[in-house]
Amino acid sequence: MHVVVCIKQVPDSAQIRVHPVTNTIMRQGVPTIINPFDLFSLEEALRLKDQLGAKVTVLTMGPKMADQALRKALTFGADEAILLTDRAFAGSDTLATSLAISSAIAKIGETQPIDIVFCGKQTIDGDTAQVGPGIATRLGLQQLTYVAKIVSIDQTAREIVVHRRAEGGVQVLKTSLPCLITMMEDTNHIRFGTMADAFRAARSPITEWTAVDAGVPDISKGGLRGSPTVVKKVFAPTARTAKAIAISGDTPEALANSVLDTVFAAHPSLQGDLQSSIATNSQGASS
Amino acid sequence: MTESFDAIVVGAGPAGSAAAYVMAKAGLSVLQIERGEYPGAKNVQGAILYADALEKIIPDFREDAPLERHIVEQRVWMLTDTSHIGLDYRSDEFNAEKPDRYSIIRAQFDRWFCTKVKAAGALVICDTVVKALLKDEQGRVIGVKTDREGGDIYANVVILADGVNSTLARDAGFRKELDGDNTALVAKEMHFLRPEVLQNRFNIGEKEGVAFEIVGTLTRGKIGMGFIYTNAESVSIGIGCMVGDFEKGGLTPYGLLDELKAHPSVKPLLAGSEMKEYSAHLIPEGGYKAIPKVFGDGWMVVGDSAGLVNSIHREGSNMAMTSGQLAAETVIALKKEGKPFSAQNLTRYRTALDASYVIKDMKKYQGMPGFLHGNRHMFTLYPELMSKAASTMLRVDGVDKKTKEKQVTKSFRQGRGLFGLLGDAIKFARAFR
Amino acid sequence: MSQPATPNPAGSKEDDLLAASKGVWVYLEMDRGHVHPVSWELIGEGRKLADKLGVDVWGVLLAPPGAANQAAANDAFAHGADGVYLMEDPILADYRTAPYTTGLTKLITTYKPEILLLGATTLGRDLASAVATTVATGLTADCTGLAIDMDTRSMAATRPTFGGSLLCTIHTLKARPQMATIRPRVMAMPPRQEGRSGQIVPVPLGMREDDIITKVLDYIADRNTNEAHLEFADFVVAGGRGLGKVENFKLVEDLAKVLGAEVGGSRPLVQGGWIGHDRQIGQTGKTIRPKLYIAAGISGAIQHRVGVEGADCIIAINSDPNAPIFDFAHYAIVGDATKILPALTEAFRRRLSAQAN
């Protein structure tokens, strides 16, 4: 069995701060991490390696330094790593990105057929959740997003059953391999690789592919030119013109009374709304 | 499969990478283990690189090392609350073909050094913490235990290069807990400016840089030192005091840094800049007297972990590299001679250190920490007196110069008394000798 | 599986599509006969965009045959739609990517809308991404604001970026339709106009069940007794990292109980395990539009801001006078939340019960 996991190196947005005065983003010195959502998918793939002996290939598209993310993925236990890096990809939006990555995946599949492609649910820097489905569409893979659990895989019948999160419940879906899966967050916890994994990772070469190596069909369809969307401007949210009304008090009790007085005076219907809502709740409460 | 190596180096800062590089280049099997995500992740420095130490390890480092600016001017400032007295040294000889001081950014530099280490043939593993040293029944160090499953690795010798707060060295009994009076805590920020603005403001050319070392009343009589270094498109500014002094209250590292930035002499230097990064780090400041045992059966300690910092001259990373190199050379020699890495044989390392500038310089200034501790007025009274003196002498206000001179002398004698002044001068000279 | 087109190169074919694309479409998300309310919110938003452009608003409904479909169409008209494209087929009984993508793509290529809006639900995001790739057009996810740039007659889609620290505006210049997903409750629910009617255009799906590889074996409904109902709550009390320790979260719960309010928290609390993800308020959690929102110990970074900006009255409690939450709160209380929350709880208890009689 062969699975491919797509990961992305992203700035650790938890550490990105906005300068309080100039409102610019302080990205300098922000460490890069593997997109956290990718780790749930990677862990799922590594479990297939544990249970079914699957080979795990990790793939990322990014600048040269994205090899750090691949090295880390190898340390978790992945078997092989491929870095798709080419200036031609600069400025790619999700459509252009899925083109590049799906070409690379097809290329990987030429040496050893792929059973499952795992992607992260979304990235913390883009948040779009579009690249996974984009890859599935381009490669004709059965698309399974928001997977909460892989229930079973029948390798002979080439079938897989999963739980997929929907509004208010879970769909139990059965489909054929090959398929693309994005895992829900918190479905698992990435293992801390063993020392043997760390050694293997340190000794493994990372394969680097350009757009040509990856077999991307037409470079003009990638990068900035192949991106239908364009960011027109980036800006800080405007502070509301009306400033917040400060409320203070000598004691917490005095403060609290002051709050209620001020707020109820400004929002005359609020007190009544609260009271009727409480009344309805206590009427409706079963016990 | 148990892994074993000629040498394991714990830490991928300048000391560790120097040791790993030299050994790997000589054909030894070397494993370097770094706890951070990447080399430099846990390191913070001003930073100034002293080329000499690195040149002896990688002679052509200038070709591809990430160097910001070579330093052509050194300024030493003594601040009062509103003024400063400064000493300025600039020389064209600093523009020589091979400059000897550069400003660097540690995260980038350490990563570069690591690529050299890997290219030399060492295996580097990051994101892994060495929890303990493995010892045999005789107490000889034979390897390390990491936090990963199956994480026991064996080596003929282990070099500890794991920094100022080496819990490993402490747990192994090689040195004591960090002492608040022997360790400084420095807070630092990087402020970004367009290169043209920076060059204009500091009066330097495209690749030239300026380094400031600063003391002053802002440390409220605590022993402290600040710095400002120009990088390619940013200025590194930082200040620190002894941890013990911060603990006693009244000062915080970032509060101190804010005051430094707000000082009327410093503020214009940062005008229009964008602060994009801040960090803090500990620096060993105990000097010669605080150096622990640096070798034993199967182990050696290098760099900050061994307290090898010359605080007066702000030298630490070069000493780290030299000590790493000397430790590596010891290992190479012993392997060649087929001798075991016993404490007796590893004495050579200490001997080599003693013969080098590392220990020689530290020995020379061994009295300085004590002097500074006992003479806090270096940081309070003297800056004031000198500033007042300068102000008096330099102002043109109708008072004759002779009267002014008398005023200055009087203020000094009142401030310290004749014996105090003499005493200070003697003590300072002694400490400096 | 339909082969994805590649983005049209500059030239007359692309310009033709540009000229021929008209109309604002809103995907009506139906599950088990029930339309997700986000669909109505998007009809309301779509109406504004369409009025600016001078075009019609069409709902798009893919569903199994049933009476619910006519009812849904009527609801769409009542909320402001001019017409509904209705694709009915038993194959569409449960959501599956393949038939829904094929169906929606067929509608798009046949009727050529200029704008297509979908709710950013698991279904919406799954479907939108597959369709956008198939049709080779631009898709902007999780938008917090939509507008029309009249110079180019294109849609300006605004969304948070850089981990939520800033906002960015994205355009799809040439490709059509311009697609966007919007989270529930980000847009206001439009008022209903009873008696408003519109056109229904039925379109067949044209697929065979045998051709579809993915099968739905079962649907397991959630059984959560402590389920959060944040999205439509009128009153919400939330806590953030400023509370200090998890024990202090009880103070938030106490106040909520007195107010009959829902309880929520910022993302760090979810990451710290204090509350479940279903109670997370913010850009990656729930967007809320309550009448009253009390935030205790929440700094108010933009990821949180975009989730609560629609509240009528925001009271913020934070010990840091420079906390960004004070930039958009209506009332600012600088102080220790652990002391202020109990005082508020007591004051509300007295005030609300005193006049209840």
B103 pLDDT above the threshold of 60:
yes
Going by DSSP bridges, is the β-strand pair C199-202/C83-88 parallel, antiparallel, or unpaired? parallel
The answer on pLDDT for C162 being more than 80 is no
Tens of pLDDT, residue by residue over C295-329, are 999 988 877 888 898 899 999 999 988 888 998 89
Band (pLDDT 50/70/90 cuts) for residue B128 is very high
In a domain, C250, yes or no: yes
Q: Residues 190 to 219 of A: which have CB under 8 A from any B CB?
A: 192-199, 201-203
Nearest to B276 among A29, A31, A71 (CB): A29
For C:74-133, CB contacts with A below 8 A are 94-98, 101, 121-123, 125-126, 128-130, 132-133
CB spacing of B125 vs A199 below 8 angstroms:
yes
**Rounded Cα gap, residues B344 and A161, in angstroms:** 66
Q: What is the mean pLDDT of residues C272-278?
A: 86
Find the domain containing C276 and state its range.
Answer: 226-356
- Name the percent of chain B in helix, strand, coil, to the closest 5: 40, 25, 35
Mean pLDDT of C110-122: 96
pLDDT of residue B224: 82
Shortest Cα–Cα distance, B163 to chain A (Å): 21
Q: Which of C157, C177, C211 is the last residue of a domain?
A: C211
More confident residue, A119 or B93: A119
Q: pLDDT: is A184 or C354 the higher one?
A: A184
Q: Are C276 and C183 in a shared domain?
A: no
Query: Does residue C195 sit in the same domain as residue C331?
Result: no
Q: How far is the C-alpha of A185 from the C-alpha of A182, rounded, in Å?
A: 9
Q: Are C266 and C143 in a shared domain?
A: no
Does a structural domain hold residue C220?
Answer: no
Query: How many C-beta atoms lie closer than 10 Å to residue B93's C-beta?
Result: 9
Same domain, C169 and C294: no
Q: Which residues of C touch A227 (CB under 8 A)?
A: 138
Interface size between A and C, measured as CB pairs under 8 A: 286
Query: Do residues B310 and B316 touch, judged by C-beta distance below 8 A?
Result: yes
Question: Torsion-angle region of residue C41: left (phi > 0), alpha (psi -120 to 50) or beta?
Answer: alpha
Q: What is the 3-state secondary structure (H, E, C) of chain A?
A: CEEEEEECEEECHHHCEECCCCCCEECCCCCEEECHHHHHHHHHHHHHHHHHCCEEEEEEECCHHHHHHHHHHHHHCCCEEEEECCHHHCCCCHHHHHHHHHHHHHHHHHHCCCCEEEECCCCCCCCCCCHHHHHHHHHCCEEEEEEEEEEEEECCCCEEEEEEEECCEEEEEEEECCEEEEECCCCCCCCCCCHHHHHHHHHCCCEEECCCCCCCCCHHHCCCCCCCEEEEEEECCCCCCCCCEECCCCCHHHHHHHHHHHHHHHCHHHHHHHHHHHHHHHHHCCC
- Whether C9 maps to a domain, the answer reads no
Quick one: tokens of B392? 């008096």
pLDDT of residue C14: 79
Q: Is C354 on the interface with A (CB under 8 A)?
A: no
- Distance, in Å, from the CA atom of A219 to the CA atom of C66, rounded to the nearest integer, reads 48
Lowest mean pLDDT among A173-177, B250-254, C202-206: B250-254
Residue C183 lies in a domain: yes
Q: CB of B41 within 8 Å of any CB in chain A?
A: yes
In a shared domain, residues C126 and C264 = no
* Residue B202: predicted pLDDT: 95
What local confidence, expressed as pLDDT, does residue C2 receive?
Answer: 40
On the question of pLDDT at B377 being above 80, the answer is no
Task: Decide if pLDDT at C7 tops 60.
Answer: no
Bridge partners for C293 per DSSP: C236, C314
Q: What value of ipTM does the predicted structure carry?
A: 0.86
Q: C66-111, pLDDT tens digit by residue?
A: 999 999 999 999 999 999 999 999 999 999 999 999 999 999 999 9
**Residue C268 domain-assigned?**
yes
User: CA of A193: which chain B residue's CA is closest?
Assistant: B148
Percent of chain C past pLDDT 90, that is, above it, reads: 71
The answer to whether residues B305 and B119 touch, using CB atoms and an 8 Å cutoff, is no
Helices (H) and strands (E) in chain B, counts: 14, 17
The verdict on a CB contact (< 8 Å) between C141 and A128 is yes
Whether chain C has a CB inside 8 Å of the CB on A13: the answer is yes
Preceding peptide of C177 cis, ω within 30°: yes
Is position C2 within any domain?
Answer: no
Q: Do A134 and C315 touch (CB under 8 A)?
A: no
pLDDT tens digits along A92-115? 889 999 999 999 999 999 999 999
Say if A31 is an interface residue toward chain B (CB within 8 Å). yes
On whether residue C61 sits in a domain, the answer given is: yes
Report the mean per-residue pLDDT for chain B: 87
Q: Same domain for C33 and C78?
A: yes
pLDDT tens-digit series, residues C206-252: 999 999 999 999 999 887 656 678 888 999 999 999 999 999 999 99
Please tell me the least confidently modeled range out of A145-154, A211-220, C189-198: A211-220
pTM tops 0.90, yes or no: no
C348 contact residues in A (CB cutoff 8 A): 256, 260, 274
Chain C: residue whose CA lies nearest to A250? C335
Q: How many structural domains compose chain C?
A: 2
Q: Tell me, what CATH number does C294's domain have? A: 3.40.50.1220
Quick one: C205 and C269 in the same domain? no
Do C111 and C240 have their domain in common? Answer: no
Residue A286 pLDDT > 60, yes or no?
no
A278 interaction partners in chain C (CB closer than 8 Å): 259-260, 352, 356
Query: Of C176, C211, C246, which residue constitutes the final position of a domain?
Result: C211
Lowest mean pLDDT among A277-286, B244-253, C121-130: A277-286
Query: Is residue C18 located within the same domain as residue C158?
Result: yes
Q: What amino acid occupies position C110? A: T
Q: Do C277 and C173 belong together in one domain?
A: no
How confident is the prediction for chain C on average, in pLDDT?
A: 90
Q: Where are the beta strands (DSSP E) in chain C?
A: 24-28, 30-31, 34-35, 57-63, 83-88, 115-119, 139-143, 145-149, 154-161, 166-172, 178-182, 199-202, 215-221, 235-239, 262-265, 292-296, 313-318, 331-334
Quickly state the pLDDT bin for B330 (edges 50, 70, 90): very high
Q: What is the CATH number of domain A2-221?
A: 3.40.50.620
**Confidence at residue A239, expressed as pLDDT on a 0 to 100 scale:** 66
- Same domain? For C194 and C233 the reply is no
